[in-house]
Amino acid sequence: MPDSKPPGSPRRSDTTRTAILDAARERFAADGYERATIRAIARDASIDPSMVMRYYGSKEGLFAAAVAVDLKLPDLTALPREEIGRALVTHFLDMWEENEVLTALLRVGVTNEAGAERMQGIFRDQLLPVARTVCPDPEQVPARAALCSTQLLGLALTRYVLRFPPVVTLPREEAVAWLAPTVQRYLTAPHP
Amino acid sequence: MPDSKPPGSPRRSDTTRTAILDAARERFAADGYERATIRAIARDASIDPSMVMRYYGSKEGLFAAAVAVDLKLPDLTALPREEIGRALVTHFLDMWEENEVLTALLRVGVTNEAGAERMQGIFRDQLLPVARTVCPDPEQVPARAALCSTQLLGLALTRYVLRFPPVVTLPREEAVAWLAPTVQRYLTAPHP
DNA sequence: GTCTATAATTCGATAGAC
DNA sequence: GTCTATCGAATTATAGAC
């Protein structure tokens, strides 16, 4: 964290570091934790495998650094109640498509505790505040946010990871049109 | 498949074979493909690792055999239209809880092509016939079945694999009450 | 900072005695 | 059928020259 150099002088290693992290995200997203080897990541980044160890200490450290980006969350709490479902689905599709971090986290989290916990933290941080502003009963907020996560993660799983053909084929607008009412209902409808 | 022995005489190896498959399902479900080692599976089954190779040839062969059980599918096509959502959610929760095969398939399928294809086949075989009987437009059947798979697999992912606490805590009846209308809508509601 | 060389494990798979 | 022994390959991680 502490940077002893003045702001205007980027260290030479910075470009190497980001190249490593980019390659790591790509490999973790494509292959999962075990099959994404340090050697392959280093090869993708056009550097020596030992540099990865030098910079990030271990494979676990590399993974932690690769997924330690904070995903910008637009303020959805100001939206009208009726639009929250559509806004959430759209926002999450944006997040999955603009970044490989979430795909990497999902592929790794399925067999890696650290990945699962981080994925859980992201969904908690993003869904709970929204749920709090629209849920009728504060006591139901965690359960309703959790229900939303099942639908949103299920879409990501089948579309970006398992790649079920009918889900991959589904146009983005159509997916939004179908899922938005579901998320809307999980958040705002009376308890069934 | 061909059994040269008379029906009344179980081969001695049969008990060993099923012990191996049981242990394999457990390990694949808990650890995924890479981390479930043949040695660990053999240790769980209290036999020698070389026996696994002798019986199943390779690790891939073992996995294929472990997940090659046919899941009995009750006939849901005879149900009244209005109950199909609840019946499907209940049926899938039963399948996930009575058997480790689906958890193993999901954990493996995320990083293994063979697992992903088998998972896709199961959902296709189970959902398409049901969707065909209740969908208004035959052309929309694959998309609507796919939408159901996103919600059902999302529940399984967060509840049985990632183990999000609020989803794990959710009582089974409550999960059914929330998801049933979703699945019902994906199958029978007019295109949004 | 970068690279070579290699240590130390671990795994899947094989050969062969009994 | 069962087990011992081991091969060959791949991995993470380290030590040290330049």
Instruction: Give chain C positions with protein CB within 7 A.
Output: 1-5, 10-16
Evaluate whether residue B3 is within a structural domain. Answer: no
B48-58 average pLDDT score = 97
**Within a domain: A29:** yes
Structural domain that includes position A30: 12-66
Closest nucleotide to A35's CA, by C1' atom?
D11
Residue B71 lies in a domain: no
Residue B160 lies in a domain: yes
pLDDT tens string B3-41:
444 444 556 678 899 999 999 999 999 999 999 999 999
Task: Specify whether the CB–CB gap between A173 and B143 falls below 8 A.
Answer: no
CB A30 within 8 A of CB B106: no
CA neighbours closer than 13 Å in the CB half-sphere of residue B10: 7
* B62 and B80 within one domain: no
User: What percentage of chain B exceeds 70 in pLDDT?
Assistant: 94
Residue B113 forms part of a structural domain: yes
Q: How many domains does chain B have?
A: 2
Whether residue B178 contacts residue B83, with contact meaning beta carbons closer than 8 Å, is answered with no
Q: Are A108 and A63 in contact (CB under 8 A)?
A: yes
- Could you tell me the distance in Å between the CA of residue B172 and the C1' of nucleotide C8? 48
Q: Is residue A91 part of a domain?
A: yes
> What's the whole-number average pLDDT of chain B?
93
Residue B62 shares a structural domain with residue B90: no
B116-141 mean pLDDT: 95
Tell me, yes or no, whether A80 and A55 share the same domain. Answer: no
Q: Are A96 and A102 in contact (CB under 8 A)?
A: yes
| Residue A54 shares a structural domain with residue A131 | no
Query: Within 7 Å: CB of A12 and strand C?
Result: yes
Instruction: Tell me the residues of chain B between 66 and 125 that have a Cβ less than 8 Å away from chain A.
Output: 106-107, 109-111, 116, 119-120, 123
User: Is there a single domain that holds both residue B182 and residue B98?
Assistant: yes
- Calpha distance A6→B171 (Å, rounded): 56
The answer to whether the CB atoms of B35 and A31 lie below 8 A apart is: no
> Do B28 and B105 reside in the same domain of the chain?
no
| Contact list, A142 vs chain B (CB under 8 Å) | 166
Domain annotation covers residue A102: yes
Residues B93 and B174 in one domain: yes
- Tell whether B185 lies on the interface with A, counting CB pairs under 8 A: yes
CB of B38 nearer than 7 A to strand C: yes
Q: What CATH number is given to the structural domain containing A35?
A: 1.10.10.60
What pTM was estimated for this model as a whole?
0.94
Mean pLDDT over A98-111 rounds to: 97
Distance B13 CA to C17 C1' (A): 21
* pLDDT tens digits, A169-180: 999 999 999 999
Distance A52 CA to C7 C1' (A): 18
Chain B: residue whose CA lies nearest to A192 = B177
Report DSSP letters for A124-153, one per residue. HHHHHHHHHHH-SSGGGHHHHHHHHHHHHH
Q: Is A80 left (phi over 0), alpha (psi -120 to 50) or beta?
A: beta
**DSSP letter at A110?**
T
Q: Are A132 and A148 in contact (CB under 8 A)?
A: no
CA dihedral A18, A19, A23, A28 (to 10 degrees): -20
The nucleotide whose C1' lies nearest the CA of B15 is D1
- Local structure of B75: helix, strand or coil: coil
Interchain contact, A149 vs B163, CB within 8 Å: no
The average pLDDT across A139-149 equals 98
Task: Give A 161-180 residues with CB within 8 A of chain B.
Answer: 161-167, 169-170, 174, 177-179
